[in-house]
């Protein structure tokens, strides 16, 4: 299957899931998770009609952007962001999905203010309370949301999560919980974006209210991490 075939098949499954949940398929965006795929492959996905591209590493983004990899669609940052890399992203990406702490939020805001803009962001939640997973703890989300809403350089649009690896039923439970958290905060803060669902579970995420799914493997095939070192 080509990248174009894969994108078409994913879109069909997204549409089915949206309709099954009584949602408008147009309300769900397909973000291509492009990590480890070169500029030519990313261009193929863009040509096939993905809505946006999501990169995990600042360096990879800065290598592919000058090659026109994302031309025609917005580029998002979806990976772990170190505060010392914030300066490369602010004003360069349409959405940062991975704000997980007050420290990171403050640094993004500071850099954005210096450029005279407000950086669109999402707050990442460690919904499974996993030890080695990024994202803020569920218990800390209300205070992070309040803090981020008060930062002049930040434009928080909603929430993002990467749930624990598990069965489809388990994933569905995590997505349902994320939707509850989202619904609890959205009226107060005007959130419109809920980023959840990957190759193995995006239909469940769409049924539970995702407005962006981040799909890599199902578009590009398995990532080649090279020989073990």
Ligand X SMILES: *Cc1c(COP(=O)(O)O)cnc(C)c1O
Number of amino acids touching ligand X (CB under 6 A): 13
Told to check if 196 binds ligand X by CB under 6 A, we report no
Q: Is the dihedral of CA 88, 90, 92, 93 positive or negative?
A: positive
Told to check if 214 binds ligand X by CB under 6 A, we report yes
Question: At closest approach, how far in Å is the CB of 79 from ligand X?
Answer: 6
Cβ contact 111:99 at 8 Å: no
Segment interacting with ligand X (CB under 6 A) among 13-21, 104-112, 114-122, 215-223? 215-223
Question: What are the tokens at 127?
Answer: 């919904």
Residue 182 or 202 with smaller CB distance to ligand X: 202
Told to check if 192 binds ligand X by CB under 6 A, we report no
Pick out residues in 56-115 that bind ligand X (CB under 6 A): 56, 78-79
Cβ contact 144:105 at 8 Å: yes
State how far the Cα of 25 lies from the Cα of 202, in Å rounded to an integer.
13
SS3 113: helix
Told to check if 128 binds ligand X by CB under 6 A, we report no
Cβ contact 98:143 at 8 Å: no
State how far the Cα of 28 lies from the Cα of 173, in Å rounded to an integer.
20
Pick out residues in 160-189 that bind ligand X (CB under 6 A): 162
Told to check if 30 binds ligand X by CB under 6 A, we report no
Among 1, 180, 217, 221, binds ligand X (CB under 6 A): 217
Can you give the binding site for ligand X, defined by CB under 6 A? Answer: 33, 35, 56, 78-79, 162, 198-199, 214-218
């Amino acid at each position: 299957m080509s990248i174009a075939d894969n994108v078409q098949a994913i879109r069909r499954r997204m549409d089915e899931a949206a309709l099954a949940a009584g949602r408008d398929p147009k309300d769900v965006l397909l973000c291509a998770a492009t990590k480890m795929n070169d500029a030519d492959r990313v261009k193929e996905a863009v040509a096939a009609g993905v809505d946006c591209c999501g990169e995990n590493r600042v360096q990879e983004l800065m290598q592919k952007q000058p090659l026109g990899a994302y031309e025609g669609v917005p580029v998002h940052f979806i990976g772990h962001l170190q505060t010392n890399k914030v300066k490369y992203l602010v004003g360069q990406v349409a959405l940062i999905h991975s704000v997980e702490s007050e420290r990171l939020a403050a640094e993004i805001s500071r850099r954005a203010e210096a450029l005279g803009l407000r950086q669109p962001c999402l707050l990442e939640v460690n919904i499974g309370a996993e030890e080695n997973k990024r994202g803020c703890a569920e218990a800390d989300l209300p205070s992070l949301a309040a803090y981020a809403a008060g930062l002049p350089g930040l434009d928080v649009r909603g929430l993002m999560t990467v749930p624990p690896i598990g069965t489809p039923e388990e994933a569905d439970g995590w997505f349902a919980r994320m939707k509850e958290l989202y619904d609890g905060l959205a009226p107060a803060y005007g959130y419109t974006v809920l980023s959840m669902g990957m190759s193995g579970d995006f239909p469940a995420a769409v049924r539970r209210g995702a407005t962006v799914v981040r799909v890599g493997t199902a578009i590009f095939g398995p990532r080649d991490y090279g020989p073990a070192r």
